[in-house]
Structure 1
């Protein structure tokens, strides 16, 4: 399988601390039967010349013990991360983002998302590697840490750091939007996750990078491709979202 790999690093301008660095790897396949997404349907990333798939995979949790994985990293989680990488490639997703906190001292352990991604790429055959450095803007928290896809409810808010942000009051205000997302998903045979990702892709200038801990999550994300919400549905969800004040105070911003 022939491929070209390009890797890039850029600062996160959309977060409060612009000195944090994010690493990105993007791969272009010449031919492969396993590629299920439309490789011609790519977007330029920010102001760079690098073209990426319309959907990326976030790898922040890979190897992380400062926020994810219950502060522990083991062989089982390592295998799950590798499966997420392989599953993404099998579905044609060739854009990987390491982390919005890349560069934080707490993110740099014996293994982190950048070193793991580099290892996975290096294990592939017939590989050529290039480095591109550029600056662009990156948005964070596609799913509002799971709140936007029904992971939490007002009567069952998250624990730990998320509980201080996604309060029962916020989750109550979120319900009309969440209910409509589920209704639309039912009409298309799609999950709330896939509806949210498709809404972002419909903006045309957005490349969502949801985090995948395993192959099942990566494959679910791919289900956001190959179809499109109607313009009316895109506008309706935007209108419902505009009625909800954004949350602030994400714990990792203080690292």
Structure 2
């Protein structure tokens, strides 16, 4: 599943279509597509792993899920995978194997945009309060909670926990407040590192523990384990990451 930084790159690729009118719509997404014809793409907004194409009177939410993708200019996958295609005088957009839904402006206004780790209005104080309210939650689950860290995924989770020296099964209530602040700050810092490395096609070269077998600090064998309620893969060092 693409994480927040990858969705920012997707937005950048779609931005040239802002200001253009839809001339044709197709795809197998299960909603009435006719209302989109003639509408102007006003802006593109992202929230974590979701992309919102905002038109005159409504918006389209795109969530790539685990295996979704998109293309610009030409259709690159078969019709059975095509959820939505939007055609403009200047070109076309195609979205495959993803969730596509129509939403209204009331839905958009209800989103807590301050929870998006990539956003200019990211609010670390709000994230801190949300963590404090869940003392019995494992930190690995908290980091993957899109209500707290919208856009943060499994790669970022593993790398951030290694950077701050916390084992994934640590309980939030046991982690000192200072360490929690470090965790929050590093979640955002790493997300922007992720974005730059992704732009340069060198992301995997910078992974320290994700999918790795040995600790880059001490050389000890890393633990690979499904952790938390989400049972997502964690890679961590028992020596260099503390269990709280």
TM more than 0.5: no
Larger radius of gyration: 2
- Give the TM-score category using the shorter length: under 0.3
Answer 1 or 2: higher relative contact order, Cα 8 Å, separation at least 6.
Answer: 1
Question: Which of the two has greater strand per residue?
Answer: 2
TM-score with structure 1 length normalisation? 0.23
